[in-house]
């Protein structure tokens, strides 16, 4: 894997600054008070020593825009024009106002036969095109800003859904992120392949090769906590990853944990048929940043049992800004168009230094 320091363009820095400032000022978000300067978070905001929550918003819950249901969010990204790109797993791509979260546009995506996607992962390229993963096959396609298919990336046979491969249905490319430098794309499988040990999921990469686009690259293994999957992964400016792990237990609710992960010394598992915890296979190292059950509830309510009423089916995550030693994150939940679940956005801060 070729990991490089971030070289953020003036335009990109401007977009991030705009989104960060807008989120901080958003009047539709329920606030826990102003963020505290220095190395420690306010006790009223802290989810852990490394993570704090600033505010949340349910403003888009059970709403529509131009006849399209606003929800089912599976991915977020900062778009090049300063809006937030929000991907629904029902094949809709929204542009949201960074200040109010109000929808400003929606584009319907489809596969080559015109069928809807199970759209899960999203990357906005520098030229404004979108890379979108669908976990049906799985697949990664490139789309124009008006939703036309411009290309498709290769996928290893083993990662395809059975019987074509060894992946389980509804357990493939949930997370998608572009690493610093823009040359390495990474997709995270949600669950283990058939034959791999439970909880060991594969992260596939592609390398950019000029006009030829992306070619298959290295692959790495990541171990989730028991019973959890990986719904999202986001690259940090230093070349590491933020990884969401998520699960749900009937009568109890959601478990959502945020990890920092470092793939740079992990074993390339491309040539390893089954991953069973072999001693000579170095997994991606991970460090727990926060179990979100420990966040303050901020007055949130839940329509179903939850260990913390703030929690829901959190599935989307993007970095909206960063300063030295600190990242600003925006998370969103997938309500599955279900009355018992909520479309909720979470504005958070993550300390990146120990």
Is pTM beyond 0.85 here? yes
- Over the stretch 193-230, which tens digit does the pLDDT of each residue have? 999 999 999 999 999 998 779 999 999 999 999 999 99
Residues pairing with 261 in the sheet: 241, 286
Q: Give the Cβ contact number of residue 343 at 10 Å.
A: 27
- Rounded CA gap, 193 and 86, in Å? 28
- Over the stretch 117-139, which tens digit does the pLDDT of each residue have? 999 999 999 999 999 999 999 99
- Over the stretch 17-52, which tens digit does the pLDDT of each residue have? 444 444 444 434 544 333 332 334 455 699 999 999
Cα 158 to the chain's mean position, in Å? 23
Q: Give the Cβ contact number of residue 325 at 10 Å.
A: 11
With residue 15 as reference, give the H or E element that holds it. helix 10-25
Q: What is the mean pLDDT of residues 253-281?
A: 96
Which residues contact residue 135 at a Cβ distance below 8 angstroms, ignoring those fewer than 6 apart?
A: 118, 120, 170, 171, 172, 173, 174, 190
């Amino acid at each position: 894997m070729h990991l490089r320091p971030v070289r953020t363009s003036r335009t990109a820095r401007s977009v991030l600054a705009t989104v960060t400032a807008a989120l901080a000022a958003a009047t539709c978000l329920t606030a826990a008070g102003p963020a505290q300067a220095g190395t420690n978070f306010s006790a009223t905001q802290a989810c852990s020593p490394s993570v704090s929550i600033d505010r949340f918003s349910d403003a888009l819950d059970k709403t529509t825009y131009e006849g399209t249901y606003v929800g089912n969010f599976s991915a977020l990204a900062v778009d090049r024009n300063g809006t937030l790109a929000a991907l629904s797993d029902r094949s809709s791509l929204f542009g949201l106002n960074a200040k109010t979260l109000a929808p400003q546009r929606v584009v319907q995506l489809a596969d080559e036969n015109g069928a809807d996607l199970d759209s899960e992962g999203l990357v906005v390229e520098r030229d404004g095109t979108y890379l979108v993963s669908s976990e049906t096959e799985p697949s990664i396609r490139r789309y124009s800003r008006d939703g036309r298919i411009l290309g498709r990336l290769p996928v290893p046979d083993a990662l395809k859904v059975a019987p074509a491969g060894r992946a389980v249905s509804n357990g493939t490319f949930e997370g998608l992120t572009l690493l610093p430098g823009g040359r390495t794309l990474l997709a995270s499988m949600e669950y283990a392949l058939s034959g791999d040990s439970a909880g060991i999921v594969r992260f596939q990469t592609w390398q950019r090769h000029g006009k030829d686009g992306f070619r298959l690259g290295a692959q790495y293994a990541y171990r989730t906590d028991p019973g959890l999957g990986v719904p999202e992964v986001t690259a940090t400016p230093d070349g590491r990853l933020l990884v969401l792990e998520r699960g749900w237990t009937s009568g109890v609710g959601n478990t959502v944990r945020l990890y920092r992960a470092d793939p740079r010394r992990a074993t390339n598992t491309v040539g390893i048929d089954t991953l069973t915890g072999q001693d000579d296979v170095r997994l991606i190292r991970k460090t727990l940043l926060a179990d979100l059950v420990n966040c303050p509830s901020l007055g949130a309510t839940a329509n179903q049992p939850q260990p913390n009423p703030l929690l829901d089916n959190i599935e989307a995550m993007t970095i909206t800004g960063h300063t030295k030693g600190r990242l600003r994150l925006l998370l969103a939940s997938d309500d599955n168009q279900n009355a018992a679940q909520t479309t909720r956005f979470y504005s958070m801060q993550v300390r990146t230094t120990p």
